[in-house]
A = this chain, B = another copy of it.
Amino acid sequence: MPFPAPSAALLGDLAGRLGPQGFTVDPADLAPWLTDWRRRVTGAAAALVSPASAEEAAFVVARAAAEGVAIVPQGGNSSMVGGATPAGPAEGRALLVSMRRMRAIRSVSPADNAVVAEAGVVLADLHEAVEAEGRRFPLSLAAKGNATVGGLVSTNAGGTQVLRFGPMRSLVLGLEAVLPDGSLLHGLAPLRKDNRGYDLKQLLIGGEGTLGLVTAATLRLVPAFETRSVGWIGLRSAEDALTLLRRLEDRLGEAVESFELVPAEGLALVLRHIPDTRAPLAESWTWNVLVEAVGSGDIGERLQNELMDAIEQGLAGDATIAASEAQADALWKLRESLSEAEARDGMAAKHDIAVPVADMPGFMTRASTAVTARFPGVRPIAFGHLGDGNVHFNVRAPEGGDDKAWFKAQAAAVSRFVHGLVTESGGTMSAEHGIGRFKRADFAALADPVRLAAMRAIKAALDPAGIMNPGALLPLAEDAPGQ
């Protein structure tokens, strides 16, 4: 392996510049940050380094670069793909650089509709800070109590409001970041238009820390919302769900912020395993949709009229609209408990995939048929963000067997098969979570060689020694391509 361990002089310099709060080699301090969120791998690092400013972060990277020492950046350590765990080719010799001390919100400007937040700001804290100024940051996800701004930027995080506002890529107005040579890129001005050449921030967004260390971001805000209306709809087919979505968008405009698809089987799992849940409709429908519309005072009435129309015309089977915030929360609980209900029911190979929206109903059917033909007995279940084409396509162990043994023996093969199916359909094997360390081998096998060559050229140009987050995202020599 090419990465050296940091020299004593380097460690001494870092300790001197960052102080005891910013530098430690104590195994007890490191331990909590060496295992990934899903508890699949535990790595090792030479030191935990926690800069308190962009200048300190630049100092750390410059000094590491001078020795060719690897850096693994870490925010809230909530990656689903092992993106922030030092378990790559520099394991034990990398500096684990935590951004959690950089947690200042530098400014909130309602007139600019922008907030400048440091990389270590936790998403839930960001929400609170901008709400106090009458604004909202329109991106949220389950890990909001842990996920940090730097991690959200570096993974181009999505969430439940992508339909209307897009992922992080659409919400980042500016970035400050340390490039792999230790130089500091200043770009926090909240410019709505800027055509001075290549948009470097777009490379860092979703770059998984392989091209630089994000230290702060300027993020787009929107007006605080007035009213939300949440409905639950029973439908006969996923195609009908898509037709309904486009109709609601035509008639209600961009008020439709969420449109989540839940199959009968998924709802049944939730009702079976999750306490305090009940079926929202009298009958069971093959497909269910949770819709949330946000707007001025009459949005509930407008949504209700549209749903009544859809039922009368046979497009929807049945529907209900939450009459209170408590009922709205109860409907959301049905959707948000799906993963947990599934986990309680047994092991599943999970996939974070997306296809073009119009193909999503067809893909779910094709993929279910193909996977059960190839792996007899498995039970596929598909749900997700219909408006984004983002399917959570999970394949559960055959009924009645030893699901843990099945998972160990079969999950990798099932995932490679599913990732192949989605790639053939023009889709993506990573809609939201990124590639990280866990999906690198499948990515190596399935990526378009033209795209991969361009990515490698960019990586080599900006990080010639490959010190930034080695082992994440870009396939390594040991990932056997074409497998």
Contact = CB atoms under 8 A, between A and B. Distances in A.
Contacts of A193: 158, 162, 167, 354, 385, 388-390, 428, 431-432
Contacts of A195: 155-156, 158, 206, 428, 430-435
A390 B189 CA distance: 13
A196 B447 contact: yes
A207 interface: yes
Nearest to A111: B358
Contacts of A447: 196
A430 B156 contact: no
Contacts of A390: 192-193
A11 interface: no
Contacts of A203: 198-199, 202-203
A296 to B, nearest CB: 7
Interface in A413-471: 426-435, 443, 447-448, 450-451, 453-455, 457-458, 460-462
Nearest to A164: B254
B473 A197 contact: yes
A472 to B, nearest CB: 10
Contact of A185 (B190, B357, B434, B454): B454
Interface of A: 109-114, 134, 155-156, 158, 162-163, 166-167, 169-170, 179, 183-187, 189-200, 202-203, 205-208, 211, 223-224, 242, 246, 249-250, 253-255, 295-296, 354-358, 385, 387-390, 426-435, 443, 447-448, 450-451, 453-455, 457-458, 460-462, 473-474
11 contacts: A111-B242, A111-B358, A134-B250, A155-B195, A169-B202, A185-B451, A187-B451, A189-B426, A191-B428, A195-B206, A195-B428
